[in-house]
Amino acid sequence: MIGRYATTGMILTILAVLPGCGDQGTEPPKPFSPAEVVPQVPVTHTIHPPPAVRERLRTEPAMRRAVPELVTAPGEVALDLKKVAKITSRIGGQVEHIHVQLGDRVKPGQPLAAIGSLQLDQLVEEYLVGKAQADVAENSLRRTEKLRTDDIVPERKLIEDKGHYLETKARYQHVREKLLAMGISKAELAGLERGGHEEGHHYTLTSPIAGTVVAQNAVRGQGVAPGAELFEVVDTSRVWVFANLPIEQARKFKEGDLGTIAPKGGEVITAPLTYLAPVADETTRTIHVRFEVENRQGHLKPHEYVEVALTRSGAPTVAVPVSALTTIDKTRGVFLEGHDGYTFTPIDAGHESGGWVEIRTGVKEGNPVVIEGVFDLKNVLLKEQIGSGE
């Protein structure tokens, strides 16, 4: 028993003197890393550039100014739906004349096609007969009213003539409303009444707006049914531009704010924001916005992609020209001019726009900031660093 205890004690003594075995609190040696020998640029290092570099430097004091916040998004040009007309036939028949073709410019009321229809023939006949009957009934009523005033005819005759007139007038007006609903104008109805009913048997499709014929689905001799779309006319003198903005960005703008539309290879166009969707898109969580753009020269083409930009003026803050910023060892900063040289100072930059960048921390108002020759100063700093072995 004594020998066994002695042996155990010797083993414990050996383990205690072995390095790293008895002391569990000691950290093992760290492996060598090449990154440990990469020199870091000391931000407090003062640079003394040579005279040739000094001549190329220009400084300005940091100042407070409003740096506008620029929001950009891809957009798409679309037709202004108030300037689109799909022309359909309101009556069944057969196309007898085509007055325009694809690409033609048309004016409001300009004929597009003429459709012959038996149904129209019947309605025209009913209209003319009804108009004649109503006129005869009205004349008879007026004569009876005069005779009744002289007590030549009985009261019953007056009542009968008045009822007959109201009946014929209602029948005539019903047919008239049918023809007007089919697209026959009041001027055309007046022409029918004057005896021009031979031409009136053609139902003429006309353009309700000025624009360009962009779709033609009718040829001569083609049979058409009520509701068939035969032409599409669009006016691209004003178009819509749609874009999607993240919710947090869309909250910064309102209807009436001016934006810019930049077509690829074209000139930038200014347009008002006229619509912000009240509901976010369920999939993208963005807000659908729309601009109304004057397009009288036709530079914007519906369905083309454009770049949309909105600018929001912010509160005044310390700002410097974008040219003053540089990056050293993954640190963004600026060079400040001191009494005996220049110092690289890290900064926390905010949004930038119009050639200016907001400075949240690192630079105070009035600090002299290098805005030209920054690249030269950076090279001097790196050379001094390498020469000093830092």
Owner of token pair 């703008």: 253
Distance CA 198, CA 205 (A): 17
352 within a domain of the structure (yes/no): yes
125 within a domain of the structure (yes/no): yes
Per-residue pLDDT for 14 more than 80? no
Among the candidates 265, 283, 312, a domain finishes at 312
We report the CATH number of the domain holding residue 293 as 2.40.30.170
Per-residue pLDDT for 85 more than 90? yes
We report the CATH number of the domain holding residue 377 as 2.40.420.20
Among the candidates 259, 290, 312, a domain finishes at 312
Considering 17-21, 195-199, 373-377, the range whose residues carry the highest mean pLDDT is: 373-377
- Structure confidence at residue 389 as a pLDDT band (50, 70, 90): low
Same domain, 157 and 180: yes
222 within a domain of the structure (yes/no): no
How large is the average pLDDT for residues 139-155? 89
16 within a domain of the structure (yes/no): no
How many structural domains does the chain have?
Answer: 3
Same domain, 168 and 181: yes
**For residue 196, what pLDDT is reported?**
54
Please state the separation of Cα 100 from the chain's center in Å. Answer: 33
User: What separation in angstroms does the CA of 101 have from each of 53, 213, 219, 220, 248?
Assistant: 71, 7, 10, 12, 48
108 within a domain of the structure (yes/no): no
pTM: 0.63
Same domain, 334 and 282: no
**For residue 390, what pLDDT is reported?**
55
pLDDT in tens, 250-276: 998 999 999 999 999 888 999 999 999
Crossing angle of helices 186-193 and 155-181, in 10° steps, is 130
Instruction: Decide if 202 contacts 41 (C-beta within 8 A).
Output: no
Write the CB contacts of 96 (distance below 8 Å, at least 6 apart in sequence).
114, 115, 116, 202, 220, 221
How large is the average pLDDT for residues 222-226? 91
**For residue 58, what pLDDT is reported?**
93
**For residue 316, what pLDDT is reported?**
86
97 within a domain of the structure (yes/no): no
Strand partners, 261: 269, 308
**For residue 44, what pLDDT is reported?**
54
Instruction: Decide if 209 contacts 231 (C-beta within 8 A).
Output: no
Closest listed residue to residue 257, CA positions, set 200, 245, 2: 245
Q: Which domain holds residue 337?
A: 46-68+315-388
207 within a domain of the structure (yes/no): no
Among the candidates 175, 200, 225, a domain finishes at 200
299 within a domain of the structure (yes/no): yes
Instruction: Decide if 361 contacts 347 (C-beta within 8 A).
Output: yes
Per-residue pLDDT for 19 more than 60? no
